[in-house]
Amino acid sequence: MVMETPVMSHRHRLAVFGGLMLAGLMSSLDATVLGTALPTIVGDLGGPDGLAWVSTAYVLATSVAVPLSGRLGDLFGRRPILLIGLAGFLAGSAACGAAQSMGWLIAFRGVQGAGAGCLLSAMFAVTGDLFEPRERARYQGYSALTFAVSSVAGPLIGGFLTDHASWRWVFYVNLPLGAVALATVLLFLRLPKPDRRPRIDYPGIVLLGAAVTCFTLLTSWAGTRYAWGSPAVLGLAAGALALFTVWILAERRAAEPVIPPRLFRDRSFSVACVVAAVGGATGFGLATYLPMFFQVVGGAGATRSGLLLLPMMAGLVAASMGAGRYIARTGRYHRLPAASMAVSALGVALLATMDTRTGPVAAGLYMAVLGFGAGLSQQVVMLIAQNAAPRADLGAAGSGVFATRMLGTAAGMAVFGGIVSGRFAEEADGRVLDGQVPAFEDAVRPEVLHTLPGPVQDGVAEAFAAAFSDLFLISLPLLGVGLVAALLLRNVPLALRE
């Protein structure tokens, strides 16, 4: 049994939600802000071999912490988990800013990532505690704004602070923001603790943590550090599959499983997980490679290529907020995931038509369609999962769907990267003069590409455009799977009150 949520004034709820938004923005910014600062960090601290681990440590720790902290919030109360996440993130930020070696920076980035995972899982679960189901849809739509802003503003903020202050301020800037969020939670958030003695599923925690670790390293290293067919990649794939299988079997016998198997017996929760994974792969996974298209095919600089994603982010925010308002007004959501998959498929099909002659206006319209499609389900799947779960499982349900989206995004980025590099090599052989085909790693670096002869640059641009067209077409069947799953969603109107 879980005690009823204490009555809080609307003003207090809004203050807490503002703190949650600030915490979410802070943690999501840290996943994107370092890209432009990394070269300077390597120049200051050395250790170029550990460069990739600065980002990998953060993503890995976040991926492991999200599902685990969601369940711990159900068992011990969400307020303590949120406070632990804030304290860990701030401590990690301060330590990263003061790091004197690459090894220590990587270690402290892991602390930061674990804190961010706690923040993200608690952010959605506490929103579920604060607001009634229909009202919750509107506020979860607002939270989409934080992730859209971070994806665009992160690289810009990182570059500005590195150029005009120091790379250390990329981390120190979190301290005043986090202090405000921490004070807001301490002053205004009052939530009950579960009135039963929790039984921690230690085997489930270890197995899930190990499985997510293998999967995250697989998606980070495959096709970059190691070839897809290398023993390291095959070993990680086999390890992830085996660990996930053993974890599923163990959870069926656990008294308090990390993600209760009973959630998956509800069709709504299962559909939410499938749509979240497909949306993560096709929305955020594809978006990761669009700046590369603009740089290689369109000749845009790094900053401009990032800004060209603004139409996609605008479409995502508009759809997320519109979907939230629609659900708050009608109490219905069952057609939104299907609409998301269909509109996303239209956007991907339009993007597949882009070539070297496509202008920024047309590309922006195509990306806006894809962003609008992604936004129709981004926060809706969280609402579906929470609506399908009892209050005692609210954190596990929300963090389970969020973790599924993260894993889908990671898998999409890895697979799509392999497709682009493989198709580029095939297309370049027929478009670039013999003996002058650059390696994929060189072709995506503007400083190398611009030193090549003009005809070679033109051939590389055409090869990239053809490779990306194939990539978008290949992703359409995946959206078809998501559409079929979404059509299975039952019409279960949200109640005005729980």
Alpha helices in 131-229 (DSSP H): 133-164, 169-172, 174-188, 202-221
Question: Distance from CA of residue 378 to its chain's centroid?
Answer: 10
How much is the CA Rg of the chain, to the nearest whole Å?
Answer: 22
Residue 145: is its pLDDT beyond 60?
yes
pLDDT mean over 413-441:
77
Whether 1-135+143-198 shares its CATH topology with 262-498 is answered yes
Of 480 and 307, the structure prediction assigns the larger pLDDT to 480
- Maximum mean pLDDT: which of 334-348, 433-447, 458-472: 334-348
| 47-104 confidence digits (pLDDT tens) | 666 777 888 888 889 888 988 998 888 888 888 999 999 999 999 999 999 999 988 9
Length of the chain, please? 498
- Who contacts 212 (Cβ-Cβ below 8 Å, separation ≥6)? 63, 64, 67, 403, 407
pLDDT mean over 25-54:
76
For 173, the 3-state DSSP assignment is coil
262-498: CATH superfamily? MFS general substrate transporter like domains (1.20.1250.20)
Q: What pLDDT was estimated at residue 497? A: 45
Domain boundaries, the chain: 1-135+143-198, 201-255, 262-498
For 222, the 3-state DSSP assignment is strand
pTM to 2 decimals? 0.84
For 354, the 3-state DSSP assignment is coil
| 212-253 confidence digits (pLDDT tens) | 999 989 988 887 788 888 999 999 999 999 999 999 999 888
Q: Return the CATH number of 1-135+143-198, one of 1.10.3720.10, 3.60.15.10, 2.30.110.10, 1.20.1250.20.
A: 1.20.1250.20
Q: What pLDDT was estimated at residue 215? A: 92
- Who contacts 341 (Cβ-Cβ below 8 Å, separation ≥6)? 275, 278, 279, 373, 377, 479, 480, 482, 483, 486
Q: How many angstroms separate the CA atoms of 191 and 122, rounded? A: 12
Q: What pLDDT was estimated at residue 129? A: 81
